[in-house]
Amino acid sequence: MTQGEVGDSFYVVDSGELSVTVDGVVRRHRMGPGDGFGEIALICEMPRTATVTATTTARLLRVSAEDFLSTVVPNARGARLARTLAEARLRSDEHPDALTPDWEL
């Protein structure tokens, strides 16, 4: 996933490790199994805000924008959680590692 591109999917890490960079600066050294990313572009209807790169062999589960939004948006609690997470990730400069919730998938 590359910063600035149009988002068409949400991803969940099934195995492996990934890192997150914003404007070429590493923002999060490790994402691992259970972590999700890509929701900001889908929820806020904006280009991708970060680049996510595999640092080991990784397996990702892809959820299309249509499936993600049709599941999250009609559910009021899910929509609030997703919007809150997206807004927190957009604001955070100091503690990006603290922004991945315990996803209940």
pTM above 0.75, yes or no: no
Name the percent of the chain lying above pLDDT 90: 50
Look up residue 105 and give its two tokens: 């998938």
pLDDT of residue 92: 64
- Range of weakest confidence among 11-25, 29-43, 82-96: 82-96
d(CA 72, CA 63): 12
Predicted confidence (pLDDT) per residue in 56-83, tens digit: 999 999 999 999 888 877 766 666 776 7
In whole numbers, what is the pLDDT of the chain averaged over residues?
A: 82
Q: What's the chain's Rg over C-alpha atoms?
A: 13
The yes or no reply on domain 9-94 and CATH 2.60.120.10 is yes
Name the token pair of 46: 């904006």
pLDDT of 103 strictly over 70:
no
Q: Is 100 exposed, middle or buried (0-12, 13-18, 19+ CB in 10 A)?
A: middle
